[in-house]
Amino acid sequence: MASTPAEYIQHHLQNLTYGKLPAGYVRGDGSVVDQATWTIAQTGAEARDMGFMAVHLDTLGWSLLMGAIFILLFRSVAKVATDGVPGKLQNFVEICVEFIEGVVKDTFHGRNPLIAPLALTIFVWVFLMNSLKWIPVDYIPGIAHLLGLPAFKIVPTTDPNGTFGLSLGVFILILFYSFKVKGVGGFTKELAFTPFNHWSLVPFNLFLEILGLLTKPLSLALRLFGNMYAGEVVFILIALLPFYVQWTLNVPWAIFHILVIPLQAFIFMVLTVVYLSSAHEDHGAEQAH
């Protein structure tokens, strides 16, 4: 797959990208595209040249697969749930549900039946996507290479497109509930008169509040991506070492990720609940009361 350590690292960090190449484009193998064509990028340069509309097939595929596993797993447990002594799988699911329910009760101060299921979905889904990091770095890319694919990443949360997709969904919910609970006027007033309740400081308040609002999805996405990406790079660097050294470093690093993987899922979930709780707080109504 790669002849040098640099090529090896670049290959393992490249996504399977599907996008459009313009007519006359010279590909990595020297061939020329006769007309604008949607195709799979053969190199990192081709992936970059495909632009904004390119799609990372591996990120989408593994994200959907982990989401399907979550739905099927919890649905199967719900269908056979019993009031008697639960099985191991039912016990695990009940622990997850009760844990998330407790976190939401402590963190969310509004009333919305959507928040607890949303928090559970985010936690389990992100955890499952993160857990793909436990698969040795060469296994899946090696199989993909045998199938003729130029690159293949399996951890969606090491792709900023994946983490930004999640955070963008949360950001849309923040805006939706901010307008729904506070109204357009109430939300606008909150932005204009927080933290300083004086008309002369409205421009300064708007700058601070809008900046703070926009940094919420950025912080969600970059925190998750940064931690997962850094861990992936370390696994790849360990894989470059001699075999007898790999196990000495790989096993402790994998054990360390037993903590990191659920922790990052938990942080993403808690911050989502905190941000949505803030969106449900109508400060104008409280002041009027």
Query: Which sequence spans correspond to the domains of the chain?
Result: 5-53, 58-282
pTM of the model: 0.89
What pLDDT does residue 287 have? 46
Q: Enumerate residue ranges in the chain where pLDDT < 50.
A: 286-289
Catalytic residue among 31, 76, 197, 219: 219
Torsion, CA 153, CA 119, CA 234, CA 248, rounded to 10: -110
What torsion, rounded to 10 degrees, do the Cα atoms 93, 99, 100, 105 define?
A: 140
Clarify whether 91 is annotated catalytic.
no
Q: Nearest-CA neighbor of 192 among 209, 170, 211?
A: 209
pLDDT of residue 248: 82
Query: Which of 9, 41, 17, 38 lies closest to 28 in space, CA to CA?
Result: 41
227 is catalytic: yes
Using alpha carbons, select from 161, 160, 126, 61 the residue that is nearest to residue 272.
126
- Three-state DSSP state, 120: helix
Average pLDDT, the chain: 89
pLDDT of residue 288: 43
Residue 3: its pLDDT value, please? 65
What separation in angstroms does the CA of 37 have from each of 22, 24, 75? Answer: 7, 10, 41
Distance CA 248, CA 51 (A): 41
Point out the catalytic residue in the list 161, 223, 250, 278.
223
- Exactly one of 15, 63, 130, 227 is catalytic; which is it? 227
Contacts of 168 (CB under 8 A, 6+ apart): 217, 221
